[in-house]
Amino acid sequence: MMKDLFWRPPSTSSGIARKFLSRPLACIAFAYVSILVIACTFAPLIAPYNPESEDLLSVLSGPSQLHLLGTDELGRDVLSRLLFGGQVTLLNSLEAVVAFSVIGVPMGLIAGYLGGRIDRIVMSATDIVQSLPVIIVLLVVAAVFTGSLPLMITLGLVSSPSIIRVVRVATLSVKSELYVRAAEVVGLKKFQVLRRHIFPQVVAPMAVQVSVFAAAAITIEAALGYLNLDVSPPSPSWGSMIAEAATVIFRQPFLIIPSGLIIVFTVIALGVLGDAIRDIWAKKDDRSDIDTGQKKRRSRQTKVTVTQSVLDENSSDPTPPDSLLSVRNLEVMINSREGDLRIVDHVSFDVKAGETLGVVGESGCGKSIMALALLGLLPSGGRITGGSVVFRGQQLVGMANKERSKLRGRHIGLVSQEPMVALDPVFTVGSQIKEVLQTLHRSNAREAKRDALELLGRARLPDPRSIFDSFPHELSGGMAQRACIAIALAGRPDLLIADEPTTALDVTVQAEILDLLLSLNNEFKMSILLVTHDWGVIADSCERTAVMYAGQLVELATVDEIFNAPLHPYTEGLLASNPYLSERGSLPSIKGVVPSPWEWPEGCRFAPRCPYATEDCTLAPIAARAISGDRVTRCLHPERIGEAVTSEQ
Amino acid sequence: MERQLGLNKPVFVQYGHWLYKALHGNLGASLQNKQSVVEMLNSRLTVTLTLIVMTVIAVSIVGVGLGVVSAVKGGLLNRIIDLLSWLGLAVPNFWLGLVLVSTFSVTFHLFPALGLTALSSSPVGWLKSLVLPVVALSAAPIAVVMRQTRDAMSSVLDGEFVRTLRASGLTERSIVLRHALKNASLPVVSVLGVLLVSLLGGTVIVENVFAIAGLGSLAVSAVSAHDLPVVEGVAVYFTLIVIVVNLLVDIAYGLLSPKVRLR
């Protein structure tokens, strides 16, 4: 056990090599850079011509058999000059990279490992250096010193803040690991800890920075070459070749192409290598390659189950005449890491005009997703895959988004769970309400402001005028939720979907918000769909309630019926585990946990946790069936509910 | 001669002397022609500032615009924009300038290859002569701003408050262009300050490519002549520009974010 804690992650170089080989682009980039380096190193052996031998008979020839990349204005072979010029450009860039690493890595390690005042000094120094334009600093150096070495060292120095920051952050995260602490306790010197334990762990982020900088160094070296600051003619560098080509651009435009493209390709290759290192390093523990394969397979599987589904039991149910919203066999799929998951499965219910319908269930049973699906506001990756949602005679499933957005606010409103993140942080509360009012009612600014203040008052906010001018971060949770309710009321919706409107609030505020919702329900004759996991909220505010478990609606009844005689064992268990309703001293809870969507059993989804489960419960999916009038249960043996409680007593 | 230039004194005394004079608006005289450095720089400042301002405008419009479109539409466009931003970062600005010259000046005669036409002599000619240098300068910053905007917009559009705004019936146009963009502009604005530092370096080289008489081309010719007072003068001017721009960025940040606004 203790051994595990002090275990240092080994570096698996073979695994990294395999991951690298699985990226064709990275392999091409690596091959390109290797070939380039080798070709330039052995330029004297490979180059077809002496880079400085002039041939005034074939000047500016363009590509030909004799000169693959053509000749310049003195008849010198471009290919040969590129290879020899590469020596200059690559070597200069290498000098800069070495300076960059030699200065940056120790500074980052020291700042991160020692912390305190040294850290602060290093960080403010990097801040200053980062605000200097690199080229200007280099020009000043070039004005004072001769030769390219001082320039390249300066380039490495002024670019080093990027690697200092990265190494520092990596060091900070490794520093707190137990094996590093252990090494310190054992008495290793600080330098040894740095060298043997911390340095190996920051190599990957370091390598990313080095390759990114190498790309930048080549561009800047080429720019210096273009300004004739890196070498003295006639010996070439890639940048100075571009400068020479520029002077004859009207006579031979092709001449700028070879030297330019070789820079572009080299920079891209180094960038690709940097990206590959970063991705491999970031996904060290991630199995996303496998995941994508699984996802494809799963989505095919689910398609089959959709067609095979036998649960369309009450699709023929007539819609009651007083129904405002009629949901039938609603099915919602979410695309997740585990593949396509059916989060909401054949949910059917009606919301009558003016009624408050509760939806209750444990976290993760799909009730919030169901509520968002009704609004057409599913999170990305979610979609309605079946069933129908009819609102005032209009089918919402499959409706064009434009049509659908016209219903939102005007006819269906939303109050969500977290008021503090539900308001736009960069606009005042007032301007948000005003904008909604102006959009929905086409009113002018003055009317909108008057109405906004009235709505804030209706939401029982103490001082509407000061709230109007406040930003969301200046409000308390309860005030923010009242502001959200005011916004939701702006369009005078027929149906308000309240998704756990009191969960994130203090207990005292919860009651006030609930009270507000109920009075609005009376005042505006507005139906409310109240999603909650709190029986107290249901008892106080709802006429009927639906109980959801594992994506399905398992029971639907009036609140009286539910509390007095539940007809589903899950409802019974949920009621018994409620601290407000439980009569005895001990608080019973339902055995087991809510299964995750990919673990849902074939038969009754509650069967594994159900005290009454019999063999037939697990055989096939259980259909929801109407018992009497509006009552619905998804249980095969509702008559046995209550036995477990009585037998215990 | 040595005494005349003060070279017989220790380095830090020389620096102190230079600093004292610099703080009084005197950056010395050019070693080449004895002209006052401040006068030389001031005569060229407008040109460089014009280039910078035009580039910032181009980067803001194109970079932010493409970033927003790509965050909203996604798909194939995202791939294309990824590719473009790779190229924008990999193609050196001076070479891009030359390719533009060889294409649009040498081949198609659309834009002038060299120099900056004076605004007073021909406004259209002025605008035409700015096009190629500004394109060459803005390619790399556009790539950065585009990616930054796209990432910021995507994360804002996934946010909870966007859902509330949609639920309250606002138009998608207002949600994207008013609410999401204002929220996403914070990280984009903070990257602008960093971009500007590299943009200043870019003007030095691009002014040389297009033979534009700005601060950058002056600095390069001064370097070849080892005319240190002029090079130092340019460095001072650029530092001042960086400071002013960072101040502007901070002010913009304060205007955009209510949490840092002074009360």
What percent helix, strand, coil does chain B show, rounded to 5?
A: 75, 0, 20
Is residue A316 predicted with pLDDT exceeding 70? no
Residue A423 token pair: 């308001």
Residue A89: other Cβ atoms inside 10 A: 29
A15-26: average pLDDT? 81
Q: Would an 8 Å CB–CB cutoff place A229 in contact with chain B?
A: yes
pLDDT of residue A270: 92
CA B55 vs CA A443, B51, B89, B137: distances in Å? 40, 6, 16, 7
Cα–Cα distance, B25 to B19 (Å, whole number): 10
Cα–Cα distance, A521 to A598 (Å, whole number): 38
Residue B217 token pair: 């081309």
The more confident residue out of B194 and A296 is B194
CB distance A394 to A432 below 8 Å: no
Looking at residue A358, the DSSP 8-state letter turns out to be E
Is residue A4 predicted with pLDDT exceeding 70? no
Residue B159 token pair: 């946010």
Chain A CA closest to residue B97: A246
Percentage of chain A surpassing pLDDT 90? 22
Sheet containing strand A323-336, edge to edge, reads: A339-352, A323-336, A382-391, A394-395
Model-level pTM? 0.79
Chain A CA closest to residue B242: A131
Q: Which long-range contacts (CB under 8 A, 24 or more apart) does A317-320 make?
A: A317/A348, A317/A626, A319/A350, A319/A390, A320/A350, A320/A352
3-state SS record for A511-553? HHHHHHHHHHHHHHCCEEEEEECCHHHHHHHCCEEEEEECCEE
Looking at residue A360, the DSSP 8-state letter turns out to be E
pLDDT band at residue A292, thresholds of 50, 70 and 90? Answer: very low
Torsion of CA A97, A98, A99, A100, to 10 degrees: 50
Amino acid letter at A377? L
Cα–Cα distance, B117 to B123 (Å, whole number): 8
> Helix, strand or coil for residue B24?
coil
Q: Would an 8 Å CB–CB cutoff place B159 in contact with chain A?
A: yes
Cα–Cα distance, A455 to A468 (Å, whole number): 10
Closest chain A C-alpha to B243 CA, distance in angstroms: 9
Amino acid letter at B210? F
Cα–Cα distance, A124 to A147 (Å, whole number): 31
Q: Which residues of A touch B167 (CB under 8 A)?
A: 375, 377, 408-409, 412-414, 416, 488
pLDDT of residue A444: 87
pLDDT of residue A639: 79
> Helix, strand or coil for residue A366?
coil
Looking at residue A594, the DSSP 8-state letter turns out to be P
Chain A CA closest to residue B155: A380
Q: Which residues of B touch A473 (CB under 8 A)?
A: 258-259
Is residue A169 predicted with pLDDT exceeding 50? yes
Amino acid letter at B42? N
pLDDT band at residue A318, thresholds of 50, 70 and 90? Answer: low
What are the tens digits of pLDDT across the range A489-532? 888 899 999 988 888 788 888 888 888 888 888 888 889 999 98
pLDDT of residue A295: 39
The more confident residue out of A68 and A81 is A81
Q: Which of residues 129-168 of A touch B (CB under 8 A)?
A: 130-137, 139-140, 142-144
Please state which of the ranges A205-219, A297-311, A430-444 shows the lowest mean pLDDT.
A297-311
Percentage of chain B surpassing pLDDT 90? 23
ipTM computed for the complex: 0.85
What are the tens digits of pLDDT across the range A532-547? 888 888 888 888 999 9
Q: pLDDT truncated to tens, each residue of chain B (263 aa)? A: 556 656 666 777 777 777 777 777 777 777 778 788 888 888 899 999 999 999 999 999 999 999 999 888 877 888 888 888 888 888 999 999 999 988 888 778 888 877 777 777 888 888 888 999 999 999 999 988 998 898 899 888 888 899 989 988 888 889 999 999 998 888 888 888 888 888 988 999 999 989 899 999 999 989 888 888 898 899 889 988 888 888 888 888 888 887 765 44
pLDDT of residue A529: 92
Q: Which residues of B touch A212 (CB under 8 A)?
A: none
Degrees, nearest 5: CA angle A579-A582-A586: 85
Q: Counting Cβ atoms within 10 Å, is residue B12 exposed (0-12), middle (13-18) or buried (19+)?
A: exposed
Residue B29: other Cβ atoms inside 10 A: 17
Subunit contact A425:B89, Cβ cutoff 8 A: no
Is residue A244 predicted with pLDDT exceeding 80? yes
pLDDT of residue A96: 95
Q: Which residues of A touch B95 (CB under 8 A)?
A: 222, 242, 256, 260, 263-264
A273-302: average pLDDT? 55
pLDDT of residue A234: 67
Residue A356 token pair: 């408050």
Name the pairing type of β-strands A527-532 and A339-352. unpaired
Chain B CA closest to residue A133: B197
